[in-house]
């Protein structure tokens, strides 16, 4: 999916000076949410796509990374597995998670910061430069205190979740003030049980990226990235990461959990289809130049009006285009291919190219329709309905309708229950 109609303009420079540390809120592991977050960070040409089955993962040509969302439980964490200091391999960019519910943004950054062929935009480029010489803990602290990153993250949270994150900070502050007082053993056991129950309902994100011919798993709650496997010669990194993903998902299944989401961070399908559309337009222009050189303007008189109408209609369409560096090479290859076409094939090739152009235009418009639908769903998801509901119930009460709807008497007792007791 793409959100090109709703992209956010990032600031010119990265401003790290926000020491207030307002909280991050929970966001859903929805592909549209992650795609929109990346675009609002200023990244172009990238999307998040949900992988519904590992059997389909190899259909993705070359993803930039994977993000696995799952219900968090304590694992068999062995610190020695994460000792990379003695390794001669360069460690990828990695940050610790130092704020509750910031793992969505953290998982995105742990992927994007290790990509060399992505346009990160002004905000993330500046952030990468600012944190390049920091250790993982200081990078995590920079994420916590980044107003820009936090504002984008929280713009995709539900208002109730934003209020919950503020409430949690308030409660933690109050509890910290009481920490000097001795708690009874019973209270300690109750608190410990509550923390465990809360942990079972929390979700966490892992990132998987290729770096220096190796596959790395990045967990912001661990001390360092974990090296999963080496990428052999002639092997795609998707093949190399599959065993690690299967192992994680099988572990979830053994624990009785099926609540997980796998997202692939890859090239935007909208931008790919838009590039294909633009390339088809250039191919038509190349063909028309050759046709004019070979036959003059007379060849146009033999073309059906419907075909010319389709051609002109498609050429009149214009969308914001972000052409990746490889587009120029593809355009040159197309130009050379047209140049070497035999004269008798020019006319048929032109007609076929016009028909393909129309199909590619429909594909771009379909992406825009999906984007618009997802955008409306996101508005519905993040809109604050509480003021409306509160006012609606208040009006029902003041106008005397609420008692009839709830079927209660003046004392608030249910009428059916009261009648039952009388009988």
For residue range 94-109, what is the model confidence (pLDDT) as tens digits?
999 988 889 999 999 9
Q: Are residues 144 and 21 in contact, defined by beta-carbon separation less than 8 angstroms?
A: yes
pLDDT at 383: 86
Answer yes or no: are the C-beta atoms of 259 and 267 closer than 8 Å.
no
Helix, coil or strand: residue 204: strand
Nearest CA among 154, 128, 153 for reference residue 142? 128
Q: Mean pLDDT over residues 59-80, rounded?
A: 75
CA-wise closest residue to 38 among 48, 29, 27, 30: 48
The residues, ordered by sequence, that sit 6+ positions from 259 with a Cβ below 8 Å of its Cβ are 70, 71, 203, 252
Cβ atoms within 10 Å of 69's Cβ, excluding its own: 21
Distances (CA, A) of 320 to 89, 275, 364: 41, 11, 12
Residue 9 is predicted with a pLDDT of 43
Mean pLDDT of 132-145: 93
Give the pLDDT score at 416: 66
| 71/257 Cα distance (integer angstroms) | 7
List, for residues 274-310, the tens digit of each pLDDT value. 999 999 999 999 999 999 998 888 888 888 889 999 9
What is the structure's pLDDT at 187? 43
d(CA 150, CA 147): 5
Share of the chain above pLDDT 90, in %: 40
359 pLDDT higher than 50:
yes
Q: How many CA atoms lie within 13 A of 292 on its CB side?
A: 7
CB-CB neighbours of 72 under 10 Å: 16
Distances from the Cα of 419 to the Cα of 402, 407, 422, angstroms: 19, 12, 5
Residue 96, pLDDT score? 94
Mean pLDDT of 245-272: 83
Q: Report the DSSP pairing between strands 260-267 and 65-71.
A: antiparallel
Quickly state the pLDDT bin for 322 (edges 50, 70, 90). Answer: confident
Segment of 96-105, 182-191, 393-402 carrying the highest mean pLDDT: 96-105
pLDDT at 88: 52
Q: Please give the pLDDT value at position 253.
A: 72
For residue 374, pLDDT beyond 90: no
Query: What are the catalytic residues?
Result: 103, 204
Per-residue pLDDT band at 12 (split at 50, 70, 90): very low
pLDDT at 312: 93
Cα separation, 359 vs 12, whole angstroms: 38
The fraction of the chain above a pLDDT of 70, given in percent, is 81
pLDDT confidence band for 5 (50 / 70 / 90): very low
Instruction: Give me the residue label for tokens 């929390």.
Output: 202
The Cβ-side half-sphere exposure at 175, using a 13 Å CA radius, reads 10
pLDDT over 90 at 409, yes or no:
no
* Tokens, residue 4: 């090109």
- Cα–Cα distance, 208 to 216 (Å, whole number): 6
- What mean pLDDT do residues 381-387 have? 85
pLDDT at 80: 54
Burial of 22 (0-12, 13-18, 19+ CB in 10 A): middle
Contacts of 239 (CB under 8 A, 6+ apart): 58
- Of the pLDDT bands very low, low, confident and very high (cuts 50, 70, 90), residue 194 is very low
Phi/psi class of residue 181: alpha, beta or left (left: φ > 0; alpha: ψ in -120 to 50)?
beta
Q: pTM for this structure?
A: 0.77
* E strand or H helix at 172: helix 159-177
Q: Using CA atoms, how far apart are residues 217 and 333, in angstroms rounded to an integer?
A: 38
| Res 265: pLDDT | 95
């Amino acid at each position: 999916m793409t959100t090109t109609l709703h992209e956010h303009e990032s600031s010119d420079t990265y401003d790290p000076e926000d020491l207030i540390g307002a909280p991050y809120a929970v966001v859903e592991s929805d592909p549209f949410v992650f795609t929109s977050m990346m675009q609002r960070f200023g990244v172009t040409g990238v999307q998040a796509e949900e992988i519904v089955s590992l059997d389909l993962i190899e259909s993705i040509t070359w993803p930039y990374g994977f993000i696995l969302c799952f219900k968090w439980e304590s694992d068999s964490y062995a610190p020695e597995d994460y000792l990379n200091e003695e390794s001669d391999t360069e460690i990828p960019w990695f940050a610790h998670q130092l704020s509750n519910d910031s793992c969505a943004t953290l998982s995105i950054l742990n992927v994007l910061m290790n990509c060399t062929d992505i346009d990160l935009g002004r905000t993330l480029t500046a952030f990468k430069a600012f944190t390049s010489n920091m250790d993982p803990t200081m990078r995590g602290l920079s994420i916590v205190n980044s107003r820009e990153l936090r504002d984008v993250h929280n713009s995709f949270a539900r208002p109730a979740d934003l209020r919950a994150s503020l409430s949690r900070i308030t409660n933690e502050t109050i509890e910290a003030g009481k920490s000097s007082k001795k708690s009874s053993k019973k209270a300690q056991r109750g608190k410990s049980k509550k923390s465990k129950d809360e942990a079972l309902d929390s979700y966490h994100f892992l990132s998987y990226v290729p770096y220096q011919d190796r596959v790395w798993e990045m967990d912001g709650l661990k001390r360092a990235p974990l090296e999963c496997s080496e990428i052999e010669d002639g092997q795609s990194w998707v093949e190399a990461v599959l065993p690690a993903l299967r192992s994680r998902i099988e572990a979830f299944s053994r624990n009785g959990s099926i609540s997980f989401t796998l997202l692939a961070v890859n090239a935007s399908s909208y931008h790919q289809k838009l590039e294909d559309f633009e390339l088809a337009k250039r191919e038509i222009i190349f063909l028309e130049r050759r046709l004019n050189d070979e036959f003059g303007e007379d060849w146009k008189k033999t073309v059906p009006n419907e075909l010319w109408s389709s051609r002109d209609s498609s050429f009149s369409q214009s969308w914001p285009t972000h052409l990746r560096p490889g587009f120029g090479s593809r355009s040159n290859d197309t130009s050379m291919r047209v140049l070497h076409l035999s004269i008798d094939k020019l006319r048929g090739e032109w007609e076929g190219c016009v028909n393909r152009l129309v199909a590619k235009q429909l594909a771009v418009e379909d992406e825009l329709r999906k984007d618009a639908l997802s955008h409306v769903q996101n508005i519905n998801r993040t809109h604050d309905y509480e003021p409306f509901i509160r006012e609606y119930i208040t009006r029902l009460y003041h106008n005397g309708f609420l008692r009839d709807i709830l079927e209660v008497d003046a004392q608030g007792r249910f009428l059916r229950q009261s009648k039952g007791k009388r009988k």
